[in-house]
A = this chain, B = another copy of it.
Amino acid sequence: MSTHAPQDSSSGTLSYEQAGVNYDLIDPLKVSAQRAAAATAGHLSAHGFTEVKASRGESAYVVDVGPFYIASIVECLGSKALVADEMATLTGKSYYDGIAQDTIAMAVNDLITVGATPLVVQAYWAAGGSDWFGDAQRAQALVAGWKKACDTCQVAWGGGETPALAGIVEAGRIDLAASCTGLINPKERLSVGDKLADGDAIVLLASSGIHANGLSLARKLIERLPQGYLTEVQPGLTYGDALLAPTTLYSPVTEALYKAGITPHYCANITGHGWRKLLRHPGKFTYRIHTVPPVTPVLKFIQQHAQQDDREAYSTLNMGAGFALFVKADQAAKVVEISKACGIDAWVAGAVEAGEKQLLIEPLNIRFGDDDLQLR
């Protein structure tokens, strides 16, 4: 059982666990589910196929079906919709077009890490009751935003589920998720880590803000803000509006890289666990960061008000970098150029070195070791 007692969070450092997520309770289930899941891989042979074992523990699951690989995933938005609901009450606006993009980004940005082209997205919109869908403005914003994100990623929206789940989902709320299926085609595009090597460059792609991770912390923080979500992060931009900037969709970049003949050696979607996700690769490498992207204003604001030092902030939030590409050093400048051409700022931020498993963020004098990220 948990040893985390409720604490006064009105002052002092606000950590992620104080914000209400207790991994001690979830992790044993995760481990046993991962073991049971791994034990089902053999079923594919009955159909003439095999799993790509290295994809277990990666962000998407990959199956070898002969002419190409199939990748698939289901991803949850998380609690960002609660911010949209609060802001709708405060401003009268609907933010569900952006929320739709966030939800698709959660799935698509994970799927592309293994080298997949996203092909089909399915919508999972589970409302707390039929009346959720009776707010036509909000419902239409959700539909329009979902369509627009599919357009950006050039995926087909296959269909989905719109259940009314009174008694399971809270009244007036909606549980949003997306599943995504894609192909790794040609098979050389597969990036599950075997190509990562000493000397590779680390290219970081800009985030648009908090994306959809760290929202429990961000929501908790409003207790400290005199004007709550309407507190200004910078002149003319409220905290709520800043939080609700839709998550950047990175698949246009990975597709453009392929067209330019560049296959990343590895990719990391920087979500929960912040920059510790740069340690995701199972191998033993040192990741040395020499350039830190500018911190998005809303993230700087959160760090400041949560009184987090840099180490805590970079271990929780994306701090301006939403996606990492590990590429051949001589391709790094071209990757930056291609990303910028897609409208997404990018930086050659560091290098992969043989050596102890660690992430060194040199400009900030931060080190994360192997113990700081346990995903497998």
Contact = CB atoms under 8 A, between A and B. Distances in A.
A32 B139 CA distance: 9
A168 B175 contact: yes
A70 B175 contact: no
Contact-residue bracket for chain A: 35 or more
A47 B117 contact: yes
B156 A167 contact: no
A18 interface: no
A51 B167 contact: no
Contacts of A36: 143-144, 146-147, 157
A37 B130 contact: no
Interface string A114-138: 0001011011101001110110100
Interface stretch (A73-81, A199-207, A222-230, A332-340): A73-81
A32 B157 CA distance: 13
Interface in A1-41: 1-2, 20-26, 28-30, 32-34, 36-37, 39-41
Interface stretch (A158-166, A236-244, A261-269): A158-166
Nearest to A78: B163
A122 B61 contact: yes
A72 to B, nearest CB: 5
A40 B126 CA distance: 22
Q: Which of A33, A51, A155 has the most chain B CB within a 10 Å cutoff?
A: A33
Contacts of A72: 72, 120, 122, 158, 179, 181
A76 B170 contact: no
B147 A40 contact: yes
Contacts of A28: 133, 136, 139
A298 to B, nearest CB: 20
A164 B26 contact: yes
A143 B26 CA distance: 13
A299 to B, nearest CB: 22
Which 5 pairs between the two chains have the least Cβ-Cβ distance? A61-B158, A179-B179, A37-B157, A22-B130, A36-B147
19 contacts: A28-B133, A37-B156, A37-B160, A40-B155, A43-B151, A43-B155, A47-B117, A49-B119, A67-B67, A74-B122, A74-B123, A74-B124, A74-B177, A76-B165, A82-B168, A126-B177, A165-B175, A169-B170, A175-B175
